Structure 1
Amino acid sequence: MHPTPLNTPKIPKALSLPFLPHTPQPSSQIPYFAIMHLTLTNTIRGLFTFGSAKKPESTDHSYEYIRGPIEERGPCPGLNALANQGYLPRDGKNLTLAKVDSALKTALHFSSPLAASLSNSLKPLLRKDGTFDLVDMRRHNVLEHDRSITRLDYGAPSNPSHDNFSFQPTMFTSFLADAGPGEEPVTIKSLAKTYARRKKESKKEGGKLGLGLWFVNVLQTVSLLNTAGKGGRLERGLLRTFYEEERFEVRILEDETERSLLGLVGKGVVLLWHVVF
Protein backbone atom coordinates (compact mmCIF):
# COMPACT_ATOMS: atom_id res chain seq x y z
CA MET A 1 0.00 0.00 0.00
CA HIS A 2 1.17 3.48 -0.78
CA PRO A 3 0.58 6.25 1.74
CA THR A 4 -1.92 8.86 0.65
CA PRO A 5 -0.12 12.14 0.01
CA LEU A 6 -1.16 15.05 2.16
CA ASN A 7 -2.98 17.84 0.38
CA THR A 8 -0.92 20.77 1.53
CA PRO A 9 -2.63 24.10 0.87
CA LYS A 10 -1.12 26.37 -1.72
CA ILE A 11 -0.11 29.69 -0.25
CA PRO A 12 -1.14 32.53 -2.55
CA LYS A 13 1.49 35.13 -3.24
CA ALA A 14 -0.58 38.16 -3.94
CA LEU A 15 -3.94 41.58 -3.39
CA SER A 16 -7.58 43.65 -5.51
CA LEU A 17 -11.12 45.76 -7.14
CA PRO A 18 -13.62 45.98 -10.01
CA PHE A 19 -11.79 45.53 -13.26
CA LEU A 20 -11.36 48.15 -15.90
CA PRO A 21 -11.67 46.96 -19.51
CA HIS A 22 -7.92 46.63 -20.03
CA THR A 23 -7.29 44.90 -16.70
CA PRO A 24 -6.81 41.11 -16.91
CA GLN A 25 -9.13 38.96 -14.83
CA PRO A 26 -7.58 36.98 -11.95
CA SER A 27 -7.05 33.27 -12.34
CA SER A 28 -8.69 30.81 -9.98
CA GLN A 29 -5.31 30.09 -8.43
CA ILE A 30 -3.45 33.28 -7.54
CA PRO A 31 0.34 32.80 -7.81
CA TYR A 32 1.42 35.71 -5.62
CA PHE A 33 0.49 37.68 -2.51
CA ALA A 34 1.64 40.95 -1.02
CA ILE A 35 1.09 43.58 1.62
CA MET A 36 -0.06 47.08 0.58
CA HIS A 37 2.24 44.98 -0.64
CA LEU A 38 4.71 42.67 1.28
CA THR A 39 5.06 39.00 0.36
CA LEU A 40 6.09 36.50 3.00
CA THR A 41 9.12 35.42 1.00
CA ASN A 42 10.14 39.01 0.22
CA THR A 43 9.77 39.94 3.88
CA ILE A 44 11.92 37.08 5.11
CA ARG A 45 14.50 37.75 2.41
CA GLY A 46 14.50 41.45 3.26
CA LEU A 47 15.27 40.78 6.91
CA PHE A 48 18.55 39.18 5.90
CA THR A 49 19.58 41.48 3.05
CA PHE A 50 20.23 45.16 2.62
CA GLY A 51 18.59 45.94 -0.73
CA SER A 52 20.00 48.75 -2.82
CA ALA A 53 22.37 50.95 -0.87
CA LYS A 54 21.72 53.91 -3.15
CA LYS A 55 18.81 56.22 -2.35
CA PRO A 56 17.64 57.46 -5.77
CA GLU A 57 15.81 60.71 -6.22
CA SER A 58 12.33 61.01 -7.69
CA THR A 59 12.24 62.17 -11.31
CA ASP A 60 9.46 64.67 -10.50
CA HIS A 61 10.67 67.41 -8.16
CA SER A 62 7.31 69.18 -8.06
CA TYR A 63 5.75 67.63 -4.98
CA GLU A 64 2.67 69.84 -4.85
CA TYR A 65 -0.45 67.96 -3.78
CA ILE A 66 -2.80 67.56 -6.74
CA ARG A 67 -5.36 64.84 -6.22
CA GLY A 68 -5.83 62.62 -9.24
CA PRO A 69 -9.19 61.22 -10.38
CA ILE A 70 -10.36 57.95 -8.86
CA GLU A 71 -10.38 56.46 -12.37
CA GLU A 72 -6.57 56.56 -12.19
CA ARG A 73 -6.18 55.26 -8.64
CA GLY A 74 -6.12 51.91 -6.87
CA PRO A 75 -7.22 50.72 -3.42
CA CYS A 76 -3.91 51.55 -1.70
CA PRO A 77 -4.08 55.06 -0.18
CA GLY A 78 -0.31 55.09 0.32
CA LEU A 79 0.63 54.65 -3.34
CA ASN A 80 -2.27 56.91 -4.35
CA ALA A 81 -0.83 59.61 -2.08
CA LEU A 82 2.64 59.24 -3.60
CA ALA A 83 1.09 59.81 -7.03
CA ASN A 84 -0.99 62.76 -5.79
CA GLN A 85 2.19 64.37 -4.47
CA GLY A 86 4.37 63.71 -7.50
CA TYR A 87 6.68 61.05 -6.10
CA LEU A 88 5.09 58.60 -8.56
CA PRO A 89 3.69 59.49 -12.01
CA ARG A 90 0.66 61.65 -11.31
CA ASP A 91 -1.56 59.78 -13.77
CA GLY A 92 -0.79 56.52 -11.95
CA LYS A 93 0.29 54.85 -15.17
CA ASN A 94 3.37 53.00 -16.40
CA LEU A 95 4.89 52.58 -12.96
CA THR A 96 7.97 50.40 -12.55
CA LEU A 97 9.35 48.65 -9.50
CA ALA A 98 12.33 51.02 -9.59
CA LYS A 99 10.02 54.06 -9.48
CA VAL A 100 8.13 52.65 -6.49
CA ASP A 101 11.37 51.77 -4.69
CA SER A 102 12.70 55.29 -5.30
CA ALA A 103 9.48 56.97 -4.12
CA LEU A 104 9.37 54.98 -0.88
CA LYS A 105 12.96 55.91 -0.05
CA THR A 106 12.74 59.54 -1.14
CA ALA A 107 9.34 60.46 0.30
CA LEU A 108 8.92 58.13 3.28
CA HIS A 109 12.54 57.30 4.16
CA PHE A 110 12.06 53.55 3.92
CA SER A 111 15.15 51.44 4.49
CA SER A 112 16.45 49.57 1.45
CA PRO A 113 15.15 46.16 2.65
CA LEU A 114 11.68 47.57 3.38
CA ALA A 115 11.43 49.44 0.07
CA ALA A 116 12.72 46.45 -1.89
CA SER A 117 10.35 44.01 -0.16
CA LEU A 118 7.35 46.19 -0.87
CA SER A 119 8.22 47.06 -4.47
CA ASN A 120 9.18 43.48 -5.37
CA SER A 121 5.83 42.23 -4.10
CA LEU A 122 4.22 44.18 -6.95
CA LYS A 123 5.76 41.89 -9.59
CA PRO A 124 2.48 39.99 -10.21
CA LEU A 125 1.01 43.21 -11.62
CA LEU A 126 3.72 43.81 -14.20
CA ARG A 127 2.98 43.71 -17.90
CA LYS A 128 5.48 42.30 -20.38
CA ASP A 129 7.16 45.70 -20.64
CA GLY A 130 7.78 45.75 -16.87
CA THR A 131 5.17 48.40 -16.04
CA PHE A 132 1.83 48.51 -14.23
CA ASP A 133 -0.87 51.08 -13.42
CA LEU A 134 -2.33 51.91 -10.02
CA VAL A 135 -5.73 50.66 -11.20
CA ASP A 136 -4.17 47.22 -11.71
CA MET A 137 -3.99 46.96 -7.93
CA ARG A 138 -7.77 46.57 -7.92
CA ARG A 139 -7.42 42.96 -9.03
CA HIS A 140 -8.89 40.93 -6.21
CA ASN A 141 -6.64 38.51 -4.32
CA VAL A 142 -3.60 39.50 -6.34
CA LEU A 143 -2.53 42.29 -4.01
CA GLU A 144 -5.85 43.73 -2.80
CA HIS A 145 -7.71 41.53 -0.31
CA ASP A 146 -10.67 41.40 2.07
CA ARG A 147 -10.70 42.90 5.60
CA SER A 148 -9.43 46.34 4.59
CA ILE A 149 -9.86 49.02 7.23
CA THR A 150 -11.47 51.55 4.86
CA ARG A 151 -12.46 49.57 1.73
CA LEU A 152 -15.33 47.13 1.18
CA ASP A 153 -14.77 43.42 0.62
CA TYR A 154 -14.87 42.59 -3.07
CA GLY A 155 -17.47 39.81 -2.90
CA ALA A 156 -19.58 40.99 0.04
CA PRO A 157 -23.37 40.82 -0.53
CA SER A 158 -23.54 44.45 0.60
CA ASN A 159 -21.13 45.37 -2.22
CA PRO A 160 -22.87 44.21 -5.43
CA SER A 161 -20.74 46.52 -7.60
CA HIS A 162 -17.53 44.88 -6.31
CA ASP A 163 -16.12 48.30 -5.42
CA ASN A 164 -13.03 47.45 -3.40
CA PHE A 165 -11.08 50.65 -4.11
CA SER A 166 -13.27 53.56 -2.97
CA PHE A 167 -12.73 55.11 0.46
CA GLN A 168 -15.69 54.39 2.76
CA PRO A 169 -16.34 57.21 5.30
CA THR A 170 -18.49 55.03 7.59
CA MET A 171 -15.73 52.43 7.82
CA PHE A 172 -13.24 55.17 8.65
CA THR A 173 -15.53 56.44 11.42
CA SER A 174 -15.66 52.94 12.91
CA PHE A 175 -11.87 52.76 12.70
CA LEU A 176 -11.51 55.96 14.74
CA ALA A 177 -14.17 54.80 17.20
CA ASP A 178 -12.04 51.76 17.99
CA ALA A 179 -9.49 54.15 19.50
CA GLY A 180 -12.06 55.68 21.85
CA PRO A 181 -14.13 58.87 22.04
CA GLY A 182 -12.93 62.38 21.32
CA GLU A 183 -9.56 62.84 19.66
CA GLU A 184 -7.70 59.94 21.23
CA PRO A 185 -4.91 58.68 18.96
CA VAL A 186 -4.82 55.32 17.24
CA THR A 187 -2.40 52.91 18.92
CA ILE A 188 -1.30 49.31 18.46
CA LYS A 189 -4.01 48.28 20.95
CA SER A 190 -6.77 50.07 19.05
CA LEU A 191 -5.43 48.63 15.79
CA ALA A 192 -5.77 45.16 17.33
CA LYS A 193 -9.39 46.00 18.12
CA THR A 194 -9.92 47.16 14.53
CA TYR A 195 -8.25 44.03 13.17
CA ALA A 196 -10.50 41.74 15.23
CA ARG A 197 -13.64 43.71 14.32
CA ARG A 198 -12.92 43.66 10.59
CA LYS A 199 -12.15 39.95 10.73
CA LYS A 200 -15.54 39.28 12.31
CA GLU A 201 -17.39 41.58 9.89
CA SER A 202 -15.70 40.09 6.85
CA LYS A 203 -16.37 36.50 7.86
CA LYS A 204 -20.03 37.35 8.41
CA GLU A 205 -20.26 38.44 4.76
CA GLY A 206 -18.36 35.46 3.42
CA GLY A 207 -14.92 37.03 3.18
CA LYS A 208 -11.97 34.65 3.06
CA LEU A 209 -8.23 34.98 3.56
CA GLY A 210 -5.66 32.29 2.88
CA LEU A 211 -2.48 32.07 4.92
CA GLY A 212 -0.55 34.31 2.55
CA LEU A 213 -3.12 37.09 2.49
CA TRP A 214 -3.59 36.76 6.25
CA PHE A 215 0.09 37.66 6.62
CA VAL A 216 -0.41 40.58 4.24
CA ASN A 217 -3.43 41.78 6.21
CA VAL A 218 -1.55 41.75 9.52
CA LEU A 219 1.32 43.86 8.18
CA GLN A 220 -1.01 46.15 6.29
CA THR A 221 -2.87 46.89 9.52
CA VAL A 222 0.29 48.27 11.15
CA SER A 223 1.96 49.73 8.04
CA LEU A 224 0.87 53.35 8.60
CA LEU A 225 1.88 53.17 12.27
CA ASN A 226 5.33 52.05 11.12
CA THR A 227 5.51 54.86 8.56
CA ALA A 228 3.92 57.82 10.35
CA GLY A 229 3.51 56.92 14.01
CA LYS A 230 5.17 58.92 16.76
CA GLY A 231 5.62 57.35 20.17
CA GLY A 232 3.44 54.45 19.07
CA ARG A 233 0.56 56.78 18.18
CA LEU A 234 -1.21 58.08 15.10
CA GLU A 235 -2.94 61.42 15.55
CA ARG A 236 -6.45 61.68 14.13
CA GLY A 237 -5.66 64.77 12.08
CA LEU A 238 -2.88 62.88 10.33
CA LEU A 239 -5.22 59.94 9.70
CA ARG A 240 -7.89 62.18 8.21
CA THR A 241 -5.35 63.73 5.86
CA PHE A 242 -4.05 60.34 4.78
CA TYR A 243 -7.34 58.51 4.26
CA GLU A 244 -9.70 61.32 3.23
CA GLU A 245 -7.29 63.34 1.08
CA GLU A 246 -4.79 60.58 0.21
CA ARG A 247 -1.91 62.83 1.14
CA PHE A 248 1.14 62.49 3.40
CA GLU A 249 1.54 65.47 5.71
CA VAL A 250 4.77 67.46 5.50
CA ARG A 251 5.82 66.33 8.98
CA ILE A 252 5.92 62.73 7.71
CA LEU A 253 7.88 63.62 4.59
CA GLU A 254 10.38 65.73 6.54
CA ASP A 255 10.96 63.15 9.27
CA GLU A 256 14.11 61.42 8.04
CA THR A 257 13.96 58.68 10.67
CA GLU A 258 14.48 55.45 8.75
CA ARG A 259 11.45 53.16 8.60
CA SER A 260 12.66 49.57 8.78
CA LEU A 261 11.36 46.18 7.73
CA LEU A 262 12.21 44.78 11.16
CA GLY A 263 10.12 47.55 12.74
CA LEU A 264 7.13 46.67 10.55
CA VAL A 265 7.32 42.95 11.28
CA GLY A 266 7.81 43.65 14.99
CA LYS A 267 4.66 45.77 15.09
CA GLY A 268 2.79 42.96 13.36
CA VAL A 269 3.85 40.55 16.10
CA VAL A 270 2.76 42.97 18.82
CA LEU A 271 -0.59 43.44 17.06
CA LEU A 272 -1.25 39.70 17.12
CA TRP A 273 -0.25 39.52 20.79
CA HIS A 274 -2.90 42.12 21.63
CA VAL A 275 -5.47 40.32 19.47
CA VAL A 276 -4.88 37.03 21.31
CA PHE A 277 -4.36 38.38 24.82
Structure 2
Amino acid sequence: MLWDIGLTLFNMVAPLKPAGSVVPAGFPGAGGLWPEYAPPGPGDSRCSCPGLNALANHRILPHSGRGISFRDLHAAVRSTYNFAPTFSFYVPNYIAGILGRSYWTDKFNLSDIDVHNGIEHDASLTREDTYLKHDQGQPSLPLIHELLACGTGPGGDLTAEDLSRIMGRRRADARRTNPQYSLSTFHKLFSSSNSAILLKMFGGSQKDLRTILLEERLPTGWQSSERHQMGLTMTAFQPIVMRIELGIKEEVDGSPHSRGGEKPKSS
Protein backbone atom coordinates (compact mmCIF):
# COMPACT_ATOMS: atom_id res chain seq x y z
CA MET A 1 0.00 0.00 0.00
CA LEU A 2 2.88 2.37 0.67
CA TRP A 3 4.21 1.64 -2.82
CA ASP A 4 0.73 2.27 -4.25
CA ILE A 5 0.36 5.57 -2.41
CA GLY A 6 3.78 6.63 -3.68
CA LEU A 7 2.74 5.86 -7.27
CA THR A 8 -0.49 7.80 -6.75
CA LEU A 9 1.42 10.86 -5.57
CA PHE A 10 3.78 10.59 -8.55
CA ASN A 11 0.82 10.41 -10.93
CA MET A 12 -0.56 13.63 -9.45
CA VAL A 13 2.45 15.63 -10.66
CA ALA A 14 3.57 13.69 -13.74
CA PRO A 15 2.13 14.58 -17.18
CA LEU A 16 -0.45 12.23 -18.65
CA LYS A 17 0.54 9.85 -21.41
CA PRO A 18 -0.58 11.02 -24.89
CA ALA A 19 -4.00 9.58 -25.75
CA GLY A 20 -2.64 7.45 -28.58
CA SER A 21 0.45 6.23 -26.75
CA VAL A 22 -0.85 4.61 -23.58
CA VAL A 23 0.44 1.16 -24.57
CA PRO A 24 4.28 1.24 -24.47
CA ALA A 25 6.16 1.00 -27.74
CA GLY A 26 7.04 -2.57 -28.62
CA PHE A 27 4.05 -4.06 -26.77
CA PRO A 28 0.91 -5.53 -28.38
CA GLY A 29 -1.54 -2.72 -29.04
CA ALA A 30 1.03 0.06 -29.35
CA GLY A 31 -0.52 2.78 -31.49
CA GLY A 32 -3.87 1.00 -31.28
CA LEU A 33 -2.68 -1.89 -33.48
CA TRP A 34 -3.92 -5.02 -31.72
CA PRO A 35 -2.88 -8.53 -32.71
CA GLU A 36 -5.41 -10.36 -34.89
CA TYR A 37 -8.57 -11.36 -33.08
CA ALA A 38 -9.76 -14.96 -33.07
CA PRO A 39 -12.70 -16.18 -30.94
CA PRO A 40 -12.15 -19.21 -28.71
CA GLY A 41 -12.41 -22.64 -30.26
CA PRO A 42 -13.34 -26.02 -28.80
CA GLY A 43 -11.15 -26.81 -25.82
CA ASP A 44 -10.02 -23.22 -25.27
CA SER A 45 -10.34 -22.00 -21.70
CA ARG A 46 -12.17 -18.76 -20.87
CA CYS A 47 -13.44 -17.12 -17.69
CA SER A 48 -15.98 -14.64 -16.35
CA CYS A 49 -13.74 -11.61 -17.05
CA PRO A 50 -14.23 -10.09 -20.54
CA GLY A 51 -10.94 -8.19 -20.26
CA LEU A 52 -8.88 -11.33 -19.66
CA ASN A 53 -10.74 -13.26 -22.35
CA ALA A 54 -9.96 -10.46 -24.81
CA LEU A 55 -6.24 -10.82 -24.03
CA ALA A 56 -6.45 -14.49 -24.99
CA ASN A 57 -8.60 -13.81 -28.07
CA HIS A 58 -5.87 -11.44 -29.32
CA ARG A 59 -3.08 -13.86 -28.31
CA ILE A 60 -1.62 -11.37 -25.85
CA LEU A 61 -2.09 -14.31 -23.51
CA PRO A 62 -2.03 -17.85 -24.97
CA HIS A 63 -5.09 -18.24 -27.21
CA SER A 64 -5.88 -21.56 -25.57
CA GLY A 65 -6.27 -19.75 -22.25
CA ARG A 66 -4.21 -22.54 -20.70
CA GLY A 67 -0.83 -22.75 -18.98
CA ILE A 68 -0.64 -19.02 -18.18
CA SER A 69 1.87 -17.91 -15.59
CA PHE A 70 0.65 -15.40 -13.01
CA ARG A 71 3.65 -13.22 -13.83
CA ASP A 72 2.72 -13.15 -17.53
CA LEU A 73 -0.81 -12.16 -16.54
CA HIS A 74 0.63 -9.28 -14.51
CA ALA A 75 2.65 -8.04 -17.50
CA ALA A 76 -0.21 -8.37 -20.00
CA VAL A 77 -2.74 -6.57 -17.82
CA ARG A 78 -0.30 -3.79 -17.03
CA SER A 79 0.74 -3.06 -20.63
CA THR A 80 -2.73 -3.46 -22.17
CA TYR A 81 -4.98 -1.68 -19.69
CA ASN A 82 -2.44 0.56 -17.90
CA PHE A 83 -2.99 -0.69 -14.38
CA ALA A 84 -0.29 0.37 -11.93
CA PRO A 85 2.31 -2.32 -11.13
CA THR A 86 0.84 -2.59 -7.62
CA PHE A 87 -2.67 -3.20 -8.94
CA SER A 88 -1.58 -5.62 -11.69
CA PHE A 89 0.43 -7.58 -9.10
CA TYR A 90 -2.24 -7.63 -6.41
CA VAL A 91 -5.02 -9.30 -8.43
CA PRO A 92 -2.97 -12.18 -9.96
CA ASN A 93 -1.33 -12.74 -6.57
CA TYR A 94 -4.76 -12.85 -4.92
CA ILE A 95 -5.99 -15.33 -7.55
CA ALA A 96 -2.92 -17.50 -6.96
CA GLY A 97 -3.70 -17.51 -3.24
CA ILE A 98 -7.32 -18.59 -3.86
CA LEU A 99 -6.09 -21.46 -6.02
CA GLY A 100 -3.40 -22.47 -3.53
CA ARG A 101 -0.63 -21.77 -6.04
CA SER A 102 2.52 -19.68 -6.16
CA TYR A 103 2.42 -16.37 -8.00
CA TRP A 104 6.13 -16.73 -8.73
CA THR A 105 6.31 -20.26 -10.17
CA ASP A 106 2.88 -21.69 -10.99
CA LYS A 107 0.49 -21.49 -13.94
CA PHE A 108 -3.27 -21.62 -14.41
CA ASN A 109 -6.06 -21.90 -16.99
CA LEU A 110 -8.47 -19.00 -17.34
CA SER A 111 -11.41 -21.15 -16.24
CA ASP A 112 -9.56 -21.96 -13.00
CA ILE A 113 -10.18 -18.48 -11.65
CA ASP A 114 -13.95 -18.97 -11.68
CA VAL A 115 -14.09 -20.94 -8.47
CA HIS A 116 -17.37 -19.66 -7.03
CA ASN A 117 -17.03 -16.78 -4.57
CA GLY A 118 -13.31 -16.51 -5.21
CA ILE A 119 -13.25 -13.50 -7.52
CA GLU A 120 -16.27 -14.81 -9.44
CA HIS A 121 -19.51 -13.82 -7.71
CA ASP A 122 -23.27 -13.75 -8.02
CA ALA A 123 -25.13 -10.80 -9.58
CA SER A 124 -22.54 -10.14 -12.30
CA LEU A 125 -23.53 -7.61 -14.95
CA THR A 126 -22.24 -9.84 -17.77
CA ARG A 127 -22.72 -13.43 -16.53
CA GLU A 128 -25.61 -15.49 -15.23
CA ASP A 129 -25.11 -16.79 -11.70
CA THR A 130 -23.16 -20.03 -11.40
CA TYR A 131 -26.22 -21.74 -9.90
CA LEU A 132 -28.22 -20.96 -13.05
CA LYS A 133 -25.48 -21.42 -15.66
CA HIS A 134 -22.28 -23.18 -14.73
CA ASP A 135 -20.06 -22.01 -17.62
CA GLN A 136 -18.84 -18.57 -16.63
CA GLY A 137 -16.74 -18.36 -19.79
CA GLN A 138 -19.87 -17.56 -21.79
CA PRO A 139 -21.21 -13.99 -21.65
CA SER A 140 -24.92 -13.47 -21.07
CA LEU A 141 -26.08 -11.42 -24.06
CA PRO A 142 -29.40 -10.36 -22.45
CA LEU A 143 -27.58 -9.04 -19.36
CA ILE A 144 -25.02 -7.17 -21.46
CA HIS A 145 -27.70 -5.62 -23.70
CA GLU A 146 -29.57 -4.52 -20.56
CA LEU A 147 -26.38 -2.97 -19.20
CA LEU A 148 -25.62 -1.10 -22.40
CA ALA A 149 -29.20 0.12 -22.69
CA CYS A 150 -29.07 1.85 -19.30
CA GLY A 151 -26.51 4.50 -20.31
CA THR A 152 -27.63 8.10 -19.87
CA GLY A 153 -24.39 9.85 -20.81
CA PRO A 154 -23.69 11.45 -24.20
CA GLY A 155 -24.42 8.93 -26.95
CA GLY A 156 -25.73 6.47 -24.36
CA ASP A 157 -22.38 6.20 -22.57
CA LEU A 158 -22.42 4.74 -19.06
CA THR A 159 -22.02 6.87 -15.96
CA ALA A 160 -21.36 5.93 -12.34
CA GLU A 161 -25.01 6.60 -11.56
CA ASP A 162 -26.10 4.27 -14.38
CA LEU A 163 -23.91 1.50 -12.98
CA SER A 164 -25.27 1.95 -9.46
CA ARG A 165 -28.82 1.74 -10.79
CA ILE A 166 -28.31 -1.35 -12.96
CA MET A 167 -26.34 -3.12 -10.22
CA GLY A 168 -29.12 -2.56 -7.71
CA ARG A 169 -31.59 -4.06 -10.17
CA ARG A 170 -29.28 -6.97 -10.96
CA ARG A 171 -28.70 -7.83 -7.30
CA ALA A 172 -32.43 -7.82 -6.64
CA ASP A 173 -33.06 -10.08 -9.66
CA ALA A 174 -30.31 -12.48 -8.60
CA ARG A 175 -31.62 -12.63 -5.06
CA ARG A 176 -35.08 -13.50 -6.39
CA THR A 177 -34.06 -16.12 -8.99
CA ASN A 178 -31.07 -17.82 -7.34
CA PRO A 179 -31.93 -19.86 -4.22
CA GLN A 180 -28.20 -20.07 -3.41
CA TYR A 181 -27.58 -16.35 -3.87
CA SER A 182 -24.78 -14.87 -1.80
CA LEU A 183 -22.89 -11.61 -2.04
CA SER A 184 -20.58 -10.74 0.84
CA THR A 185 -19.40 -7.19 1.50
CA PHE A 186 -16.09 -8.11 -0.13
CA HIS A 187 -17.81 -9.37 -3.28
CA LYS A 188 -20.10 -6.33 -3.37
CA LEU A 189 -17.01 -4.12 -3.46
CA PHE A 190 -15.37 -6.43 -5.99
CA SER A 191 -18.42 -6.20 -8.27
CA SER A 192 -18.38 -2.41 -7.96
CA SER A 193 -14.66 -2.51 -8.82
CA ASN A 194 -15.45 -4.46 -11.99
CA SER A 195 -18.05 -1.86 -12.90
CA ALA A 196 -15.65 0.99 -12.16
CA ILE A 197 -13.20 -0.49 -14.67
CA LEU A 198 -15.82 0.13 -17.38
CA LEU A 199 -15.44 3.81 -16.59
CA LYS A 200 -11.71 4.05 -15.86
CA MET A 201 -10.41 1.92 -18.73
CA PHE A 202 -13.16 2.39 -21.31
CA GLY A 203 -14.53 5.79 -20.35
CA GLY A 204 -18.02 4.30 -20.21
CA SER A 205 -18.02 4.39 -24.03
CA GLN A 206 -21.10 2.67 -25.44
CA LYS A 207 -19.27 1.90 -28.68
CA ASP A 208 -16.16 0.41 -27.10
CA LEU A 209 -18.01 -1.49 -24.37
CA ARG A 210 -20.32 -3.09 -26.91
CA THR A 211 -17.25 -4.60 -28.59
CA ILE A 212 -15.37 -5.67 -25.46
CA LEU A 213 -18.40 -7.11 -23.65
CA LEU A 214 -20.26 -8.80 -26.52
CA GLU A 215 -17.30 -9.96 -28.65
CA GLU A 216 -14.54 -9.91 -26.00
CA ARG A 217 -12.43 -8.09 -28.57
CA LEU A 218 -10.33 -4.93 -28.21
CA PRO A 219 -11.67 -2.31 -30.63
CA THR A 220 -9.40 -1.28 -33.47
CA GLY A 221 -7.48 1.83 -32.47
CA TRP A 222 -8.58 1.58 -28.85
CA GLN A 223 -6.29 2.38 -25.96
CA SER A 224 -7.09 2.65 -22.29
CA SER A 225 -8.74 5.82 -21.02
CA GLU A 226 -6.40 5.56 -17.99
CA ARG A 227 -3.44 7.74 -19.03
CA HIS A 228 -1.48 8.30 -15.82
CA GLN A 229 2.23 7.63 -16.14
CA MET A 230 2.29 4.83 -13.58
CA GLY A 231 -1.18 3.54 -14.43
CA LEU A 232 -4.30 3.17 -12.32
CA THR A 233 -3.40 2.71 -8.66
CA MET A 234 -5.58 1.01 -6.05
CA THR A 235 -5.57 4.23 -4.03
CA ALA A 236 -6.89 6.34 -6.90
CA PHE A 237 -9.41 3.64 -7.85
CA GLN A 238 -11.26 3.54 -4.53
CA PRO A 239 -13.28 6.79 -4.78
CA ILE A 240 -15.09 5.71 -7.97
CA VAL A 241 -15.62 2.20 -6.54
CA MET A 242 -17.22 3.64 -3.41
CA ARG A 243 -19.26 6.13 -5.42
CA ILE A 244 -20.81 3.25 -7.37
CA GLU A 245 -21.31 0.96 -4.37
CA LEU A 246 -22.79 3.63 -2.09
CA GLY A 247 -25.15 4.70 -4.88
CA ILE A 248 -26.72 1.23 -5.14
CA LYS A 249 -30.33 0.97 -3.97
CA GLU A 250 -31.27 -2.67 -4.23
CA GLU A 251 -34.98 -3.21 -4.60
CA VAL A 252 -37.06 -6.36 -4.16
CA ASP A 253 -40.70 -6.26 -5.29
CA GLY A 254 -40.42 -2.49 -5.55
CA SER A 255 -39.17 -2.00 -1.98
CA PRO A 256 -35.64 -0.91 -1.04
CA HIS A 257 -33.49 -3.74 0.31
CA SER A 258 -31.31 -3.01 3.34
CA ARG A 259 -27.51 -3.02 2.96
CA GLY A 260 -27.23 -5.77 5.54
CA GLY A 261 -28.89 -8.16 3.12
CA GLU A 262 -32.10 -8.66 5.19
CA LYS A 263 -35.54 -7.75 3.96
CA PRO A 264 -36.99 -4.76 5.79
CA LYS A 265 -39.37 -5.97 8.49
CA SER A 266 -42.97 -4.85 8.29
CA SER A 267 -44.27 -2.95 11.24
- Is the TM-score greater than 0.5? yes
Matches within 5 A, 1:33-182: 47-48=4-5, 63-69=35-41, 71-123=44-96, 124-125=98-99, 127=101, 130-155=106-131, 159=132, 161-180=133-152
Distance 1:132 1:57, change over 3 A: farther
Range that drifts further, 260-269 or 77-86: 260-269
C-alpha displacement at 1:82, in angstroms?
Answer: 0.8
Distance 1:121 1:180, change over 3 A: same
Q: Deviations over 1:116-160 (max 9, x none)?
A: 2222222123657511000112321122111110100112xxx2x
Structure 1 CA distance for aligned equivalents of residues 29 and 100 of structure 2: 22
| CA distance in structure 1 between the partners assigned to 2:196 and 2:141 by the alignment | 20
Q: Partners of 2:155 and 2:29 in 1: how far apart? A: 36
* Structure 1 residues 184 and 50: alpha-carbon distance in aligned structure 2, compared to 1, 3 A threshold: closer
Q: Distance in 1 between matches of 2:224 and 2:124?
A: 28
**What are the ranges of 5 or more consecutive residues in structure 2 without an aligned counterpart?**
9-23, 250-267
Task: Give the equivalent residue in structure 2 for 1:36.
Answer: none
Matched letter for residue 74 of structure 1 = C
Give, in whole Å, the separation in 2 of the partners of 1:244 and 1:144. 19
SS at match of 1:253: coil
Matched, 1:202 2:174: yes
Deviation at 1:87, TM superposition (A): 1.6
> What does residue 249 of structure 1 align with?
219
Q: What is the RMSD computed on CA atoms of the aligned residues?
A: 3.1
- Aligned partner of 1:35 in structure 2 is none
Cα distance in 1 for partners of 2:153, 2:236 equals 28
SS in 1 for 2:199: helix
Question: What does residue 165 of structure 2 align with?
Answer: 193
Q: Distance in 2 between matches of 1:181 and 1:60?
A: 27
Counterpart Cα distance in 2 of 1:66 and 1:188: 32
- Whole-Å Cα distance in 2 between the matches of residues 190 and 255 of structure 1? 19
Change (3 A) 1:163 1:204: same
* Alignment-mate amino acid for residue 195 of structure 2: T
Q: State, as a whole percentage, how many aligned pairs show the same letter.
A: 23
Q: How many residues align?
A: 223
**Structure 2 vs 1, CA of residues 135 and 260 (structure 1 numbering), >3 Å: closer, same or farther?**
same
Looking at structure 1, the residues matched to 209 and 28 of structure 2 have their Cα atoms a distance apart, in angstroms, of 27
CA distance 1:149–1:255, shift in 2 (3 Å): closer
Secondary structure of residue in 1 paired with 2:211 = helix
The amino acid of 2:111's aligned partner reads V
Q: TM-score normalized by structure 1?
A: 0.70
Deviation at 1:254, TM superposition (A): 6.8
Contact 1:100 1:119 in 2 (8 A): yes
State how far apart, in whole Å, the 1-side matches of 2:149 and 2:28 are.
40
What is the TM-score when the length of structure 2 is the normalising length? 0.72
